[in-house]
Amino acid sequence: MADLYTNAPPVLAPASAEAKNVLIQANTVESILPLNVKSLRYAVGAAELIRGVSFVVQRGSRNIVLGANGAGKSVLLRLLHGLLPPSGGQIEWAHSNAQFKQAMVFQRPIMLRRTARENIEFSLRLTQRGHRSRDSRGHRSRDSRGHRISDVASAAEAALDRVGLAHLADRPARLCSGGEQQRIALARAWALSPEVLFLDEPTASLDPTATKAIEEIIHAINKTGTTIIMTTHDIGQVKRIASRVLFLHRGQLIEDAAATPFFETPQSPEAAAFIKGELLW
């Protein structure tokens, strides 16, 4: 269920009338949120990497999983996205089609050996497999929502345009810079219209300008109704993005708070130390 293989309806350019219909449809289908995580555990041998974590994720929220290196942030995200099997506890989505309505972007973008546009088209076509109808000559013509297959190309272009990379549509994705590749990865995930977007340290290897661009895109994606669940250990980034903070320490969730109270009145000595920039291990 990596970002490339996540199944969700394609979205079109926000400006088009058809896109508005898509958004209205998306709002009326059953939501996979809230997500209810109960006593989640993940162990490898004797090592307990996630130790009894419980929390709820509400629709539209921007959740940041914060913690020091090795705290268990990536493992937690991979468990939630279904890339790792839990050792115990439950991950309860509100609807059974959850796997088709989430996408994930990783720290290092995974680009196919194709152009930027083709990377997005490929991902969109994967989501249509098995759902297409055929025309009178038996050719596949429309997907299950009635969108023309040819719309995939324009949806991919619109997705690149939304992240400011329309001019790179025909460039081989792997020749793009790290920041550009990460924006393509975000465009690809956004094009799938996921209800939940997981991001694992998406700016960890980027400079401040590229980081700012990515953060703006994350806010834009959230404004279209996508719930954000993201990891970072960058305090400044948490302040810029989070509506809610999940503070992880050695595999345990020791703080779960709205962003403002988390910073103003941390409830645990570990969170207070982390906010002050003191090392935790």
Ligand X SMILES: Nc1ncnc2c1ncn2[C@@H]1O[C@H](COP(=O)(O)OP(=O)(O)OP(=O)(O)O)[C@@H](O)[C@H]1O
Nearest to 197 by CA among 72, 33, 55: 33
Shortest separation between residue 166's beta carbon and ligand X, angstroms? 32
Q: Please check whether residue 126 is in contact with residue 5, taking contact to mean a CB–CB distance below 8 angstroms.
A: yes
Query: Looking at 154-271, which runs of residues are DSSP E strands?
Result: 196-200, 227-232, 244-249, 252-258
Number of amino acids touching Mg ion (CB under 5 A): 2
Shortest separation between residue 47's beta carbon and ligand X, angstroms? 5
Shortest separation between residue 276's beta carbon and ligand X, angstroms? 18
Q: How far apart are CA 145 and CA 276, in angstroms?
A: 51
- The pairing of strands 88-92 and 35-44 is antiparallel
74 binds Mg ion (CB under 5 A): yes
Tell me which of ligand X, Mg ion, none is bound by residue 75, counting a contact when its beta carbon lies within the kind-specific cut-off of 5 to 8 angstroms.
ligand X
Tell me which of Mg ion, ligand X, none is bound by residue 105, counting a contact when its beta carbon lies within the kind-specific cut-off of 5 to 8 angstroms.
none
Closest to Mg ion by CB, 74 or 128: 74
Closest to ligand X by CB, 169 or 238: 238
Shortest separation between residue 251's beta carbon and ligand X, angstroms? 7
- Of 47-55, 70-78, 190-198, 246-254, the window that binds Mg ion (rule: CB under 5 A) is 70-78
Question: Which residues form the interface with ligand X (CB under 6 A)?
Answer: 44, 47, 49, 67, 69-75, 233
Closest to ligand X by CB, 21 or 252: 252
Tell me which of ligand X, Mg ion, none is bound by residue 70, counting a contact when its beta carbon lies within the kind-specific cut-off of 5 to 8 angstroms.
ligand X
Closest to ligand X by CB, 49 or 229: 49
Q: How far apart are CA 269 and CA 219, in angstroms?
A: 30
Nearest to 198 by CA among 82, 86, 66, 81: 81
Shortest separation between residue 88's beta carbon and ligand X, angstroms? 16
Tell me which of ligand X, Mg ion, none is bound by residue 147, counting a contact when its beta carbon lies within the kind-specific cut-off of 5 to 8 angstroms.
none
Q: How far apart are CA 117 and CA 30, in angstroms?
A: 30
- Of 72-80, 125-133, 221-229, 259-267, the window that binds Mg ion (rule: CB under 5 A) is 72-80
- Residue 89 one-letter amino acid: G
| Residues with Cβ within 8 Å of residue 175, at least 6 apart in sequence | none
Cβ atoms < 10 Å from Cβ of 158: 23
- The pairing of strands 244-249 and 140-142 is unpaired
The site for Mg ion (CB under 5 A) is made up of: 73-74
